[in-house]
Amino acid sequence: MIRGEKATFRRRLGFIGIGYLGSRIARRLVDAGFSMVVYDRDHSKTGELAALGAEVAMSPEKLAREVDVVLSCLANDAAVEDVYLGTSEILRNTKPGVQIMEMSTISPETSRRLYQAARQRGVSALDVAISGSTPAAEAGKLTLFGGGDREVFEGATPIFRAIASQWFYMGPSGSGVAMKLVVNTLLGVEMQAVAEAVALGSKLDLPRDLVLDTLAKTAVVAPALTGKLASAKKDDYTPQFAVRLMHKDFGLILAAASQFGLSMPATEAAAAINSKEAASGIEEDFSAVIHRMEANG
């Protein structure tokens, strides 16, 4: 969406889950001119959006009754199932014709269950998985992977333009989150490889800052990780993509592989180190495996 251009998408949006990514996405939608209702179980997280003009719902059920499109960005499969199918009963409170855009990283199976349950109530559901951390979300430069009915996905283009630089329709329900698991396999394994390379550089008596600066300028480090090297120079592991979320994603990836008897030795090794870091209980970025490899090397 062009700077200064306001949305002409007339349907009212509801957003559930004002976390690291959800808060940035919801803010961009408000700034773009969308009529918004927001909800988070931690009501303090909705204050900034309320100041910008969003209505705050006191419950998911109330939000569902007032909007035409429900977007959600939640922590895991259990949270998604609870919001839509469990105690919050979003589906019981939506009217036919409402669209759901579920943006959490969850299993394809959970996405397909939500799709089928929504369809039975005359509601459409997309899984629109997000690739990109908080800086990309703030800049509206996310990448999106969609699963569900193509025409519904294509009809959501005005929303996508406000939050993403590119979006891809991947196929039927569950395909969007499936692609996210593919992408995060590379992300997690590459981050572990970078951590090991940095630790090796130190053992070879190379200046740490020089190693980090030089790696960031080489073609072998993915663009998504170059900013992590700059933060690591300052030993700054403030979460942009929390290690606990990468830990959850590794679990989804390996569970999917196990269903097909697929061996993923590099992923399993990276997941083991990530798991040790996540077990610290510290809310830090997934790039903190750099610190772990340096400390244990």
Kindly list the catalytic residues: 180
DSSP, collapsed to helix, strand or coil, labels residue 141 as: coil
Residues 196/214, Cβ–Cβ less than 8 Å: no
Task: Tell me the CA distances in angstroms from 211 to 163, 179, 191, 198, 200, one per residue in order.
Answer: 34, 32, 15, 7, 10
Structure token digits, residue 37:
């209702």
The DSSP H or E segment spanning 79 is helix 77-85
**Which 8-state DSSP code applies to residue 233?**
H
Tell me the chain's radius of gyration from C-alpha atoms.
20
Task: Tell me the CA distances in angstroms from 262 to 249, 253, 255, one per residue in order.
Answer: 17, 11, 10
Give the integer Cα–Cα distance in Å for 154 and 290.
Answer: 40
Give the integer Cα–Cα distance in Å for 13 and 37.
Answer: 6
> What sign does the CA torsion over 279, 283, 289, 295 have?
negative
Structure token digits, residue 281:
């209980």
Q: Please give the distance of CA 14 from its chain centroid, rounded to a whole number.
A: 17
